[in-house]
Structure 1
Amino acid sequence: MLLNTLVASLASGLVLGAFASPLSHDYAGAKTRRVVPSSHSLHERHLSHWERQWTKRSKVPDTQILPMRIGLKQSNLKEGHDKLMDLSTPGSSNYGNHMTAEEVVDFFAPHQSTTDAVTEWLVSSGIGPDRFAVSVNKQWIQFDATAAEVEELLFAEYYVWNHLSGSHDIASEGYHLPTHIRKHVDYVTPGTRLRPRNVKNKRAGNFNKPQPMITQLPGFPFPNSSTCDVYVTAECTRVQYGIPNATTAAPGNELGIYESLDVHYSRKDLDIYYSTLYPNIPNGTYPEERLIDGAIGAIEDTTEYVPIDLEAPLDFDSSSPLIYPQGLVLFQEDDEYYESTEAFNGFWNTFLDAIDGSYCNYSAFGETGDCTAEECFDPVYPDPNPGGYTGQLQCGVYKPTNVISISYGAGEYGWPDYYMKRQCNEWMKLALQGTTIVMSSGDSGVGGTTCLGDSGKIFEVDFASSCPYVLSVGSTEWDRFDNVTTPTPGKKLNEVATKRFPSGGGFSNVFGVPDYQRDAVSAYFDQVESSLGFDAYHHFVANGDFSNVTGGVYHQGGRAYPDVGAVGDRQVVYSNGSWWLVGGTSLSSPVFGAVLTLANEARIAAGKSTLGFVHPALYQHPEAFNDITVGSNPGCNSTGFPAAKGWDPVTGLGTPNFPVLLKVLLGL
């Protein structure tokens, strides 16, 4: 098939093949550079900094077959945001009228006039309708052509380029389109972008694998609601947030938990945890496993996986008792080779492929499908490596749950803008369909894994928390300040920002502040800006290049995170034959995910839609939260941002006051 030819050709860089039907021009002999007519304009230009790692070599032979793909400008990208606000803003007559997956595909498909204009141009240029195909999602047109044909079509010259790694690619230094066609075309590939093909030996360096704060206990700690400042369990979370015992389990309302990077769990450990602390949960109560691209779920033979990472047990032990009898769904991503070697730089794309088939070939911001560029290289399937998944990339094989908790993140600086923007658009599309994505905000304050800029003082920003369509969750802890010698069961404790580690928070360099949080963010700066002790800059930063930042350490004007907070330390977990205290926003995310799952449970029982994009409702109702005003998130040799009255970039709006929050959400 043409698509298979395209993929194979791009993967190998150059593929010699049969001639395509030639244009009516004679290409015998050497060609000279042609003058670009006034009817055409430059569409993309080769970036000079690529030549630091690439060397231009020979001209591509005229007869070389190039698998061409033209990405069409999508319609309604801005309108998609407006549509989401209409479906998600309290008081709207369309509130809760979520779209189907098919409706979302049609909504963003390029206008028919775009497809017609580009195909008419191709036909008039000698590329007949029998030679090109339009993708099922209507987002791109593909065809095979000789290099001579492509150069004639685009007023370009194609060369072979060699990368420092030894790999090669083909690209032009610039190509041109008819002026009236440019508004319909996002990009053309092969075009100007250079992508090394041998990057599997490059270990992911930008991605922040969850690293929970752990303390091994000498034995079972016998926790109860009087010791919540020392040992946190679901009983503590219920008491402190006013959450009643769950009694229902609406079909399809399971809480989704995402795992990757060799993070697994043990069914035996879950049985021990439940039977010890929650005997009402019977043995054999395990997550439903939705395994993606050869992923491994539970691990029982721990000789190869010692110790089992505490991330998955933390997610399950903290959330399952809150929502039981409702269940969990595990979304486990990527095969054993990629999980163990982390030989990739991108993330989440194969997960998104699996829960939305249209994403596999989704074109936006100059990118179609999973990334093959070195800076954002995604796992490739079939995978020929030892332990690799040999099946095809899984596209649309699972339905997303109503709420999905993700305790992973990465610095914005480490990925190209187009990669994050394309992915953020997908989070928006899931929100349009009624899915809430809940994500941990990070555990390193304003510093992330590193501090940026020539000065090494610019704050790092966590993605995908910085995407305005993700619900970002910061971390808190419960403390006892009154020095009571005999703790009282069920007593409400003081709640502050986590002290053992600083909760991640700040302002995006890629995404602007959305309207739903603008007033809350302005109110925060009115309180604290004059006393921060550090300055802001007021412009976006492109592709992690901070060379134009000459003053300030954070972007005032970017999407602010986290949105909300939840307990994030001292959770009692059982794993690897031991009891542990575990902390991190990796705890906060599944706890808040459980809260929203319970709210959806009530809405479903009342005959209402799922919450989906819940942000506007939350920001309109700050009274539904326990306001956290003590703490900060230091980093980069600064005190970070302080907690304050109302929203702040440490714990967001605060932690859930469940009775009030449920009343608000049930009333929508």
Structure 2
Amino acid sequence: MARLLWTVALLGAFRSAVSKPLGLDKRWEELKVKHEWVDVPKGWVQVGRPPTDYPLKMNIGLKQERFDELLEHLYEVSDPEHHRYGSHLSKEEVDELVAPNSMTVESLEAWLTYHDIDPVSSLARTDAGDWVTVTIPICKVEKMLDAKYGVYKHVDTHETIVRTISYSLPSFLHEHVSVIAPTTYFGTMQAMKSHVLIEELVDDQVSTSETVSTQTDVPDSCLRDITPACLFALYNAVGYKPAATDRNVLGVAGYLDQFANYADLQTFLTANRPEAVGFNFTTEKINGGGDDQSIPGVEANLDIQYTVSLSWPTPNVYFSTGGSPPFIPDDFTPTNTNEPYLDWLKYVSSKPKVPQTITTSYGDDEQTVPRDYAIVVCALFAQLGVRGSSVLFSSGDSGVGGGDCLTNDGRNVTQFQPAFPASCPFVTAVGGTTGIKPETAIFFTGGGFSNYFPRPPYQNDDVADYIDKLDGAYDGLYNAKGRGFPDVAARGDRFRVVISGKTYHVGGTSASSPTVAGLISLLNDYRISHGRPPLGFLNPFLYSKGAAGLVDIVGGTNPGCGTQGFNATAGWDPLTGLGTLDFGKLQSLVLYEDED
């Protein structure tokens, strides 16, 4: 019953409505606001207007006819107590569920035709038809959306993008169109910063930790210097040898012209996993993404060096997504000013097979992401989960919130700031820890409660218990009914990373997420090698049978917004979730004798 009520509440945002036939007397110019900001989002200032014939690539997300059925499938195939556990859907089955109904398609095409856009020759469509892409002059976009686009510059990063602070659609289209991009989502490119902290230069490039093959305990050196050997020891994964490397894949999502470097990986492996030297990852370029080996990215190298070294010899793929070149007001050439994040999701969802494990270390304050955009992106993660992919996100590095923590809805009141996509209920959010024997929550670990998404049933009891322990503390600063995050945690500081041949210490939940991804990839390998399907969407398992394979973290706080933040305590907490992974225990929990 709890799951049913939550699904009904969530579908208030996701479900497509039943439309009345489109009459000939509809007034196409009767527009209704789809989304608008009270003011220009914080950190951005308008510096000009784009040329009137600037070509804008417009992505139109259509309401999905049977998304409620997809959610039912997702929870059934992800619940270890359900007889369908692990029976993930194919791409074709997902496409059928997310396809828009005929009235939605007809209504969109009629609107485009009214604006002299040929729905046959001008449009690119996804296989399911739930996304339509068309490139048209921005002057026409402004008329269609009753919008006024500007060139906006970020005061800190100095990047420039083309956005509007408001857009509208004909009233009848609201029940057919979920979102149009790019419009009001400003949190892209450098503003969509990765959660990574470069701490200091390490003088030597040779690991001081013991080798993986002989590691039986966590040495004190791991307090100051994290290597793959430390992580294997910390999380009880020493000695596991993957056996399903012909079927299992680990994916890393990269943005912002962050390129993973092949030579740096070899230098890293030589020092930290010598038996893996010579092994490398592959790069898939998306939407103009690059692979410039002359400019290694800190985030990209951190991710790849740890996913590869932990999962070796499992194939690793680095997704290099474009979409971040600056807009130059007097440049009339087509410059991609679209959301690279959305481009990545559309690309991966279109693949016949998806990686069994995916890690991403990027995100924004939830309130900076338009609600309609966040809902659509979150739905795309559900599609990956129901196809058998475990999607992991870092929870952020600002505690309960960075900056002044003021709301951007015109009230300007102080409120904790959850991070998105970590707040999406269909991803597994990863917080950060520090220390050994025991680990504690690291002070910057992001965590809290979503203001967009209700608390999902899989975590209802655990989160409710924590809120009871708060006993009224911070009431009004967070949404007690929202999805709580993170779900799990891992070490988040002093990771050795090779960048341009030199070794640095790097930290952040950007390190935590690929660490957990490496371990989950090994668990997926274990299941696949035993003839079982991959774990897929992890959270229903983690909050039930999997909890016995997690180590509770009970110390630390995550200050922010002028407060001490939440505290780590027994049970789930919004700093470290359910705790860190014990690979050995999880191995014994992920195989079920009653599975088909």
TM-score in terms of structure 2 length = 0.75
Work out which of the residue numbers 253, 261, 272 in structure 2 matches 1:258.
253
Work out which of the residue numbers 356, 359, 367 in structure 1 matches 2:349.
356
* Matched letter for residue 287 of structure 1: F
Rounded to whole Å, the distance in 2 between the matches of 1:162 and 1:257 is 36
Shift of 1:141: 9.7
The alignment partner of 2:471 has SS state of: helix
**Structure 2: 5+ residue runs without aligned partners?**
1-23, 47-57, 135-142, 153-161, 211-217, 330-334
1:305-346 CA-partner distances (Å, limit 9, x unpaired): 3xx432222222323222212232111111673699998573
1:619 equivalent in alignment to 2:561: no
Rounded to whole Å, the distance in 1 between the matches of 2:503 and 2:549 is 34
For the 8 Å contact 1:246–1:325, the answer to whether it is kept is: no
5 Å-filtered alignment, 1:390-469, equals 396=351, 399-448=353-402, 451-453=405-407, 457-469=414-426
Partner of 1:601: 525
Partner of 2:200: 215
Partner of 1:657: 582
Shift of 1:188: 11
* Matched letter for residue 91 of structure 1: E
Rounded to whole Å, the distance in 2 between the matches of 1:335 and 1:184 is 29
5 Å-filtered alignment, 1:315-330, equals 315-330=303-318
Shift of 1:210: 3.2
Aligned residues, how many?
A: 511
5 Å-filtered alignment, 1:79-228, equals 79-111=69-101, 114=103, 137-139=128-130, 175=170, 177=172, 185-186=176-177, 204=189, 206-219=191-204, 220=206, 222-224=208-210, 225-226=218-219, 227-228=221-222
For the 8 Å contact 2:209–2:229, the answer to whether it is kept is: no
For the 8 Å contact 1:77–1:108, the answer to whether it is kept is: yes
Partner of 2:433: 476
The alignment partner of 2:274 has SS state of: coil
For the 8 Å contact 1:599–1:666, the answer to whether it is kept is: no
1:497–1:118 CA distance, 2 compared to 1 (3 A)? closer
* Matched letter for residue 86 of structure 2: G
Partner of 1:332: 320
5 Å-filtered alignment, 1:261-276, equals 261-276=256-271
Rounded to whole Å, the distance in 2 between the matches of 1:188 and 1:440 is 25
Shift of 1:523: 0.9
Rounded to whole Å, the distance in 1 between the matches of 2:420 and 2:290 is 25
1:631 equivalent in alignment to 2:556: yes
* Matched letter for residue 496 of structure 1: T
For the 8 Å contact 2:190–2:256, the answer to whether it is kept is: no
1:246–1:48 CA distance, 2 compared to 1 (3 A)? closer
Shift of 1:80: 2.0
Partner of 2:499: 575
**Structure 1: 5+ residue runs without aligned partners?**
1-24, 26-33, 55-67, 144-156, 358-395, 480-492, 536-551
* Matched letter for residue 137 of structure 1: A
Shift of 1:139: 4.5
Rounded to whole Å, the distance in 2 between the matches of 1:330 and 1:216 is 25
For the 8 Å contact 1:476–1:567, the answer to whether it is kept is: yes
Partner of 1:496: 440
Rounded to whole Å, the distance in 2 between the matches of 1:272 and 1:159 is 52
1:663–1:122 CA distance, 2 compared to 1 (3 A)? same
RCO higher in structure (CA 8 A, sep ≥6)? 2
Rounded to whole Å, the distance in 2 between the matches of 1:188 and 1:568 is 35
The alignment partner of 2:470 has SS state of: helix
1:438–1:340 CA distance, 2 compared to 1 (3 A)? farther
The alignment partner of 1:638 has SS state of: coil
1:155-213 CA-partner distances (Å, limit 9, x unpaired): xx9897655669999x9987465xxxx89744799xxx9959xx99x985642233324
1:265–1:640 CA distance, 2 compared to 1 (3 A)? same
Identity among equivalent positions (%) equals 29
Shift of 1:652: 0.4
1:233–1:168 CA distance, 2 compared to 1 (3 A)? closer
1:547-577 CA-partner distances (Å, limit 9, x unpaired): xxxxx21111111110101111122222233
1:403–1:298 CA distance, 2 compared to 1 (3 A)? farther
Partner of 1:515: 457
1:437-478 CA-partner distances (Å, limit 9, x unpaired): 111001110114551235563111111001111110001122
Work out which of the residue numbers 287, 290, 307 in structure 1 matches 2:284.
290
1:438–1:184 CA distance, 2 compared to 1 (3 A)? closer
Rounded to whole Å, the distance in 2 between the matches of 1:172 and 1:317 is 42
Rounded to whole Å, the distance in 1 between the matches of 2:81 and 2:551 is 24
1:105–1:215 CA distance, 2 compared to 1 (3 A)? same
1:648–1:343 CA distance, 2 compared to 1 (3 A)? farther
Shift of 1:79: 2.6
